[in-house]
Amino acid sequence: MDRESLIKEAKESLKVTPDATHRYIEARDVLLDEVNTRMEDHPQIAVLIGGNPIRMMHDNHRNHIDFMATVFQFNSYEMLAKTLPWVYRAYGTHGFSFDYFPQVLETWKEAVKKHLAPAAAAEINAVYDWMLHHHRHMIELSTVVSDMEEAYPDLADERGKFGACLLSADFQSCMKIAESILSRENGQETLYLGLIQPVMYEIGRLWEQDKISTAEEHLATSMVGRILAGLYAKLPIPPPDRGKAIVTSAPNEFHELGGRMLADMLEAAGWDILYLGANTPAEELIRLIRKTNPRFLAISLTMPFGMDRVAAIISTLKGAPDLGHIKILVGGSAFNSDRNLWRQIGADAWAEDPKSAIRQVLTW
Ligand code: B12
């Protein structure tokens, strides 16, 4: 079965009511405990998780339940069908046996049956049955890694060199490549969207396929952070006469480069930006919004399991008489995998990248 047919089938055939979703979320901790304990006691557990530390399995279970809760809450079966092959690939290349997946999915089903009322359990387990039914397809699709999209094709060589220099910790060469691109016409946009973003996506793919370690991925990211900071200090910033705006990553969201690029590019387009970085707590964000009264708020979300937190921030702002006028823009890869999500959570707009974001905020 190909990817598109799988997505179509998932969208057409799966649905969970808000009541069943609520019960699943309410039982989160008990379900998680039950699945962790049962899987730890599995006689073949060491083989199933490929000798990895048990902590890695626990992380997967925690991410799984938070992700599934997001899928049910926002009825985003497109996101489910797009993400499952990634789960198989990422854990498979890191040593997990493909046999682990049917085992753990059956265990989730049993836990759901034990801890949820029968009607809710039946709805939730229909989705688990669908995943089990497509186990073979997930294995097949997990072997398909999409090629890097060739936007900015003339930068292919520089991307190759920059990526290699990042992984060999050659900061000076990376900086030279970045400076040379920045000095060209439309330099900032080309540097961010033509060099850094695709190279970071490639770094992610290499990690996903176990070709580089987590430490090497961290090294590459922190080098990019240093480069961006070094260049930021030299950027000509125009007078901020368009107004104030806040750019932040969502609570519990540790990916920050996307938001940072957006913040820098908005500044270059004349906005007065408060850039808050990763993992901003919701109450603190609301407090700062009240204090600074921005024209709009931009929230970056990469991991889909943070969607409910973004929805909660939007609902608080829209429901507050003194804050309801503030426009909310969302973006990041969690929104890129299902292009209807932003509407469902009540945002005013979504943009795929900073270029379209700038066009969007100019209409406000
Ligand atoms: C670096 C990195 C990390 C670093 C981040 C550090 C940092 N300082 O940012 C760390 C180590 C913290 C990390 C952690 C994790 N990561 Co990570 N990470 C990455 C990596 C390699 C690069 C991210 C990045 O900088 N991309 C470049 C930026 C520029 O791209 P971007 O974020 O998409 O932003 C662009 C647009 O989306 C848009 N945009 C972004 N935000 C916004 C906001 C608005 C308002 C708008 C309009 C636009 C917009 O504009 C940007 C420019 O065009 C990605 C690979 C990837 N594909 O992105 C994996 C990746 C995102 N991570 C992944 C995973 C699984 C994780 C972890 C769960 C790993 C783990 N087991 O712990 C955790 C989750 C932590 C958490 N709770 O957030 C997966 C996600 C897979 C999935 N299907 O969901 C990826 C895709 C890796 C992979 N290929 O498997 N990660």
Cα 60 to the center of its chain, rounded Å: 15
Residues 297, 223: contact at Cβ < 8 Å? Answer: no
Tell which residue, 133, 39, 125, 158, has the closest CA to residue 81: 133
pLDDT at 146: 66
d(CA 52, CA 57): 8
Tell which residue, 307, 288, 192, has the closest CA to residue 275: 288
3-state class (DSSP) for residue 137: helix
Give the ligand 1 atom nearest the CA of 258: 34
The answer, yes or no, to whether residue 159 has pLDDT greater than 90, is yes
**Based on C-alpha coordinates, what's the Rg of the chain?**
22
d(CA 167, CA 224): 11
3-state class (DSSP) for residue 274: strand
d(CA 330, CA 353): 10
d(CA 253, CA 280): 8
Backbone angles phi, psi at 300, to 5 degrees: -105, 130
d(CA 198, CA 205): 10
> Where residue 333 falls among pLDDT bands split at 50, 70, 90?
very high
Backbone angles phi, psi at 271, to 5 degrees: -95, 150
d(CA 12, CA 9): 5
pLDDT digits (tens, 9 = 90+) for 334-361: 998 898 899 999 999 999 999 999 999 9
Tell which residue, 210, 204, 246, has the closest CA to residue 96: 210
Taking the centre of ligand 1 as the mean of its atom positions, its distance from the CA of residue 86, in whole angstroms, is 14
pLDDT digits (tens, 9 = 90+) for 131-140: 999 999 999 9
User: Can you read off the two tokens belonging to residue 252?
Assistant: 């519990």
Q: Which of 302, 341, 345 to mutate to test the pocket of ligand 1 (most atoms within 8 A of CB)?
A: 302
Taking the centre of ligand 1 as the mean of its atom positions, its distance from the CA of residue 106, in whole angstroms, is 30
Tell which residue, 49, 304, 305, 9, has the closest CA to residue 134: 9
Amino acid at 275: Y
Residue whose CA lies nearest to ligand 1 atom number 26: 200
Residue whose CA lies nearest to ligand 1 atom number 35: 258
> Where residue 149 falls among pLDDT bands split at 50, 70, 90?
low
The answer, yes or no, to whether residue 28 has pLDDT greater than 70, is yes
Q: Which domains does the chain have, with CATH numbers?
A: 3-142 (1.10.490), 153-232 (1.10.1240.10), 244-362 (3.40.50.280)
210 close to ligand 1 (CB < 6 Angstrom): no
204 close to ligand 1 (CB < 6 Angstrom): yes
pLDDT digits (tens, 9 = 90+) for 308-318: 999 999 999 99
Pairing status of strand 327-331 against strand 296-300: parallel
90 close to ligand 1 (CB < 6 Angstrom): yes
